[in-house]
Amino acid sequence: MEQLVNKYAQKLIQAKLGKASGPSQPIIGGLDDMLVWNRPARETQVLEKIFDHLNINSLVFLRPAQPYKSLIRYLANQALSTTNGLIQPKDCETRTFLHDLPVIDSFNPKKICAVLKNRKSVIINPMDDTDSFEGPAIIAHGTVSPEQGFVTVSSVCFAGFIKFFTDYLESLQTGQATQAAHDLFDEITPYIQEEQKKAPKFIPFPFADEKTVYSAIIEAGRKTVEYGLVDSYFGNVSYLWNGTLYISQTGSSLDELESCIDPVPLDHSTSAGLTASSELTAHLETISRTGCRAILHGHPRFSVILSMDCDPMEKATCEFNTQCHIKCPKKRFVDHTPIVPGEVGTGPTGLCRTLPVALEHSDNAIVYGHGLFTISQDDFSHAFDTLLSVENRCRNLYFKKVFRLRNNPS
Amino acid sequence: MYGWTGKILHINISDKTVEIETPCVEILNQYVGGKGLGGRYLRQNARLPWNHPDMVFCIFSGPLAGTSSPTSGRAHMVSKSPLTGLVADSSVGGKLATRLKKAGWDGLVITGKSPFPVGIHIMDERIEFQDAAFVWMLDTHDLHRKINPQKASLVTIGPAAQNGVRYASVIVDQHFAAGRSGLGTCLAEKKIKYILVNGTGHTRVKNPVLLKKAREDILRLTAASPVLMGQSGFTCLGTGAVYDLMDNRRMMPTDNFTHTKFAHAARLNASMYTKTYHPKKHGCLGCHILCKKTGTHDKKSIAMPEFETMSHFTALIGCTDTDLVVQANRLCNIYGMDTISAASTLACRREITGKDYTKETVLSLLKDIALGNGEGKDLGLGAAAYAEKMGFPDAAMAVKGLELPAYDPRGAYGMALGYAMSTRGGCHLRAYPISHEILRKPVATDRFSFSGKARIIKIAEDLNAVVDALTACKFTFFAASLEEYARIYEAVTGIETSTQDLLQKGETIYYNERIINALNGFDIKDDDLPTRFFTEKGTSGNSIDIPPINREDFIEARSKYYKIRGLTQKGLPTTEKAASLGLEWNSL
């Protein structure tokens, strides 16, 4: 347990959601017969009471670092004052796994337990300036491993980021942007406008043996994380070699794909895909339709944000405007990148039914509110370059739109 | 009342009388249904022998059965096991739970012994007892054809139960088995050949809008699950999809658990059954996952084996024929026998006698077991009693008398602890650690470590206990969680409920089972694994090392488990913990 609480504290720091020192240093507790913490902290007095009242084995506490700190505080303030204490992001990960994000206004064990007895996470956001507790903070729990809390906290930060930037653009388009939103945008923009690096080199095609295929997938996963093209560590990667699709496993961290790749034969002679990524069917269908070898899927933020950007006037009259993620009836693009609806997995509205069709005509496509898929015919270089360039393009387009609307609100 | 019907039917089969109990909503909410309510009635008779006339046989539905709640139409049977002397319980699919609810009953509690074979007909509030002497010797399929239940649900036993096989199953709606613990033998002891249930009512739902929303959330989660609805998942390939994985992970029980990898696995996997039998999807009433498969053999429809049957009738007994597996599965179903216990007992025999099997000898022995012929009589006692009788007790791969399923514990230490602690003996479903140790849900854990496993197993047992009380399907929890089911429970019953409330109900249900077992003399000496797992290594290779389990590590994890579960270090309940859960326990 000690090893796990330290590992996930470190991963929160590496993902830039937390910091190695100061208030944003993560606090993670793990309980088997004894409770262990990754570090001593004043907050553990309250957090220990949560362990007393809930049938759980782990807890993650994080005061998120910037820009998440400011934007989560902003969204939490809104939620407490207008929407019954719930932040309601529209991105796919939240919709599928978290549903919405509950917020409370004090670091009180009773109040925290009242939420966590039903939900995976709670955001603590004191509204009273005299409250000595420094917010906002996110608390998430698990019944199996601290990894559950880590995944939830990461997803909360990602969802908050997507929600703020999506809502801000829409508010500018409808002329309803508040001064508080402008101020927040200006405050956090410096944290996110980093210049993107040039794409790295990858193991070149052709791959001589199976071992090289594994190495190439592990490399692609690791670099996708290093370049910040994922929500924390999540996404999926596959490569077709000798009639077998090698694909990252479900719930695997893209920076730790060693021992987390499943070989899935195209002739269906084994069920090795049982633990494969939930997008296995979409990958197989894509390969069948396009003849590509490599597929990369990340959740780059501005690609996700722009995929949800829709003309507010049009949206207001669209009969599917509450089901954009599964029923958007329009052919939409960011530049030349198609945007398709579709949910995770294989259901009737699954992205496996929309994405492969789009990739027949383009080497990349964005799934509404979810993420970007790119393909290559040989090694991972082209797929990665595309992932990076589409995200950079989306980032530039987003800021252009925002500045244009701010400078010319009419 | 919403969710529940509020009525439990008590049947005294000795004198064919019935009584209707109308428990208050507080009792129903405390025990939920299924395994919970069944355990409540078993507790009242805990010290009676399994074959005592006053011993209960319970069949319960749950509050969600009969509603649109996903995968919530299972029934749960509870009694005392003739095989182990422990709590005997089994979740079973089909349409039984739904029909019981439609008939207006949350469950049946049957006591007594009939002097002659009897069939019970339940149509709404009309209860009739039919002389079943003329169908007593029929197998389950012939009986199904004879009764022709159509839309009704039919619960039957087969010849194995009537001939005293200690692991006889109950077959529901022809294809669904309440397999483990010998529940079929319990019904046979009461001379009940079958129960036919139908009804015309409906389950009332307090908040249909909230139910619809929570249902959509669960459907979305299951669609996102590769294990359930991916193209290598249970919907497409059935539970046999796990077969390749167990072999690849080097935890496929082979040659009575002397090895953990089977050389012939690649041509005996789920894909091979798909090619050979062209199975179609089939499942419990109202389920969208449809994990059961029905194939075609000699132009006839035939049930496809589940994963454990596929594995145990090949690797465990050293056979390499898919047709043998299909035929063995068919025989076990028509005779009404648990496939895991039957195959494991045969594997034990193979190890003791040194005689290998052919397809013919396996099928012939299964018939002998079911009909009580010759050697079959001893084999019908189960692996532990058989091995004891033969003078080789260590050859029985069982925990507390229940034969182990198809996951070698040397390849998953949570599974090792889960087997040892299980209240019904060697069972993978009480804690279901395969979920995180192999299938990576909700997240992956280190399968070769006991670190953290004591609490993980305890929480998972609580979870699965309440899932069996809700009479939901455990497979759904590879994708969804109690968070979604708490909302469904609230939507259906109108009772404000949280995930943690449900987990606490599960904890109470599970602790009640520990009390029942303790009253029957079970303690730390029984919470253990067969010696083989601590002394013999598995089949290492391909960078995966399968050493024997370190006994000291296991003992330490067991000790932690006792502490976390609120038991003494001898594995016995405590008055304080029992009282905190609203249960009664006075130390032995």
For chain B (length 588 residues), average pLDDT per consecutive 10? 97 98 97 97 96 98 97 97 98 96 98 98 97 96 96 97 98 96 98 98 97 94 90 92 94 98 96 93 89 88 94 98 96 98 98 97 98 97 98 98 98 98 97 94 94 97 98 94 95 96 97 97 98 97 92 98 97 97 85
CA-CA distance, B312 to A393, in Å (whole number)? 56
A-to-B residue pairs, Cβ atoms closer than 8 angstroms: 169
Determine, yes or no, domain membership for B217: no
Q: Tokens for B500?
A: 């943690």
Position of tokens 């199904």?
B144
CA-CA distance, B434 to B114, in Å (whole number)? 42
Write the residue in B227, B229, B232 that is nearest to A272 by C-beta.
B232
Put simply, whether A345 touches B (Cβ < 8 Å) is: yes
Please report, for chain A, the start and end positions of each structural domain, with discontinuous segments joined by +. 2-162, 210-405
Domain identity same for B392 and B491:
no
CB contact under 8 A, B245 and A274: yes
Residues of chain A contacting B222 with CB distance shorter than 8 Å: 347
Min Cα distance A96 → chain B (Å) is 6
Residues of chain B contacting A344 with CB distance shorter than 8 Å: 220, 223-224
- CA distances in angstroms from A304 to A74, A278, A299, A316, B290, listed in the order given: 20, 19, 7, 21, 34
Determine, yes or no, domain membership for B207: no
Residues of chain A contacting B233 with CB distance shorter than 8 Å: 274
Put simply, whether A276 touches B (Cβ < 8 Å) is: yes
Q: Tokens for B184?
A: 């079929």
Write the residue in A30, A32, A273 that is nearest to B454 by C-beta.
A32
Write the residue in B219, B241, B439 that is nearest to A271 by C-beta.
B241
Q: So what's the pLDDT on residue A326?
A: 86
Residues of chain A contacting B227 with CB distance shorter than 8 Å: 250, 274-275
Write the residue in B217, B222, B455 that is nearest to A57 by C-beta.
B455
For position B264, which CATH number holds?
1.10.569.10
Determine, yes or no, domain membership for B209: no
Q: Tokens for A242?
A: 């000798």
Domain identity same for B458 and B353:
no
For position B566, which CATH number holds?
1.10.599.10
Mean pLDDT check: name the lowest of A106-120, A208-222, B55-69, B277-291: B277-291
Min Cα distance B29 → chain A (Å) is 18
Determine, yes or no, domain membership for B463: yes
Determine, yes or no, domain membership for B481: yes
Q: B179: burial class by Cβ within 10 Å (0-12, 13-18, 19+)?
A: buried
Q: What share of chain B is helix, strand, coil (3-state, %, to 5)?
A: 45, 15, 40
CA-CA distance, B508 to B466, in Å (whole number)? 9
CB contact under 8 A, A278 and B453: no
Q: What are phi and psi of B26, to 5 degrees?
A: -65, -40
Determine, yes or no, domain membership for B525: yes
Q: Nearest residue of A to residue B544 by CA position?
A: A259
pTM of the model as a whole:
0.94
Domain identity same for B429 and B393:
no
Packed helices B359-371 and B322-335: angle between N→C axes, nearest 10 degrees:
10
Write the residue in A53, A251, A348 that is nearest to B444 by C-beta.
A251
Q: So what's the pLDDT on residue B586?
A: 82
Write the residue in A99, A151, A268 that is nearest to B443 by C-beta.
A151
- CA distances in angstroms from B45 to B8, B78, B99, B105, listed in the order given: 17, 12, 27, 22
Q: Tokens for A133?
A: 């507790």
CB contact under 8 A, A57 and B452: yes
Q: So what's the pLDDT on residue B181?
A: 97
Write the residue in B226, B453, B501 that is nearest to A250 by C-beta.
B226
Best residue in B293, B500, B501 for a mutation probing chain A (most A CBs within 10 Å): B500
Q: Mean of the pLDDT values across residues A104-117? A: 95
Write the residue in B217, B229, B564 that is nearest to A345 by C-beta.
B229
Q: What is the pLDDT of residues B278-311, one digit of tens each?
A: 999 988 888 999 998 999 988 888 999 999 999 9
Put simply, whether A264 touches B (Cβ < 8 Å) is: yes
CB B454 within 8 A of CB A32: yes
Domain identity same for B392 and B506:
no
Q: Nearest residue of B to residue A249 by CA position?
A: B440
CB contact under 8 A, B452 and A271: no
Write the residue in A32, A96, A350 that is nearest to B455 by C-beta.
A32
Domain identity same for B190 and B266:
no
Q: So what's the pLDDT on residue A193?
A: 63
CB contact under 8 A, B230 and A119: no
Q: Mean of the pLDDT values across residues A94-101? A: 83
Q: So what's the pLDDT on residue A182?
A: 96
Domain identity same for B347 and B424:
no
Write the residue in A99, A148, A270 that is nearest to B244 by C-beta.
A270
Q: Nearest residue of B to residue A117 by CA position?
A: B500
Q: Which of B406, B428, B444 is the last residue of a domain?
A: B406
CATH superfamily of A210-405: Class II aldolase/adducin N-terminal domain (3.40.225.10)
Q: Is residue A89 predicted with pLDDT exceeding 80? A: yes
Position of tokens 């001593």?
A40
CB contact under 8 A, B230 and A280: yes
Determine, yes or no, domain membership for B235: yes
A328 pLDDT band, cuts 50/70/90, is confident
Domain identity same for B180 and B246:
no
For position B108, which CATH number holds?
3.60.9.10
Domain identity same for B96 and B179:
yes
CB contact under 8 A, A144 and B486: no
Structural domain tally of chain B? 3
Min Cα distance A179 → chain B (Å) is 36
Q: Which of B262, B243, B255 is nearest to B307 (CA)?
A: B243
Residues of chain A contacting B454 with CB distance shorter than 8 Å: 32-33
Put simply, whether A24 touches B (Cβ < 8 Å) is: no
Contacting residues for B105 by C-beta, under 8 A, at least 6 apart:
B5, B7, B8, B9, B61, B122
CA-CA distance, B391 to A289, in Å (whole number)? 63
CATH superfamily of A2-162: Class II aldolase/adducin N-terminal domain (3.40.225.10)
Mean of per-residue pLDDT scores for chain A: 93
Q: Is residue A410 predicted with pLDDT exceeding 70? A: no
Q: Which of B330, B326, B404 is nearest to B367 (CA)?
A: B330
CB contact under 8 A, A275 and B459: no
Write the residue in A117, A251, A280 that is nearest to B443 by C-beta.
A251
Q: A21: burial class by Cβ within 10 Å (0-12, 13-18, 19+)?
A: exposed
Domain identity same for B186 and B281:
no
CB B66 within 8 A of CB B284: no
DSSP 3-state of B297:
strand
Determine, yes or no, domain membership for B216: no
Domain identity same for B167 and B232:
no
Residue B357 exposure: Cα atoms within 13 Å on the Cβ side: 32
Q: Which of B378, B406, B434 is the last residue of a domain?
A: B406
Min Cα distance A249 → chain B (Å) is 9
Q: Which of A66, A134, A130, A64 is nearest to A101 (CA)?
A: A64
ipTM score of the complex?
Answer: 0.91
Q: Which of B418, B446, B563, B417 is nearest to A4 (CA)?
A: B446
CB contact under 8 A, A117 and B499: yes
Q: Is residue A98 predicted with pLDDT exceeding 90? A: no
Min Cα distance B124 → chain A (Å) is 37
Residues of chain A contacting B463 with CB distance shorter than 8 Å: 143
- CA distances in angstroms from B113 to A57, A161, B17, listed in the order given: 47, 67, 12
Put simply, whether A215 touches B (Cβ < 8 Å) is: no
Specify the DSSP element, H or E, that contains A364. strand A364-367
Residues of chain B contacting A96 with CB distance shorter than 8 Å: 220-221, 224
Domain identity same for B142 and B61:
yes
CB contact under 8 A, A281 and B230: yes
Min Cα distance B454 → chain A (Å) is 6
Q: So what's the pLDDT on residue A409?
A: 66
Q: Which of B359, B375, B406 is the last residue of a domain?
A: B406
Domain identity same for B156 and B12:
yes
B268: domain range? Answer: 224-406
Q: Is residue A68 predicted with pLDDT exceeding 90? A: yes
CB contact under 8 A, B242 and A274: yes
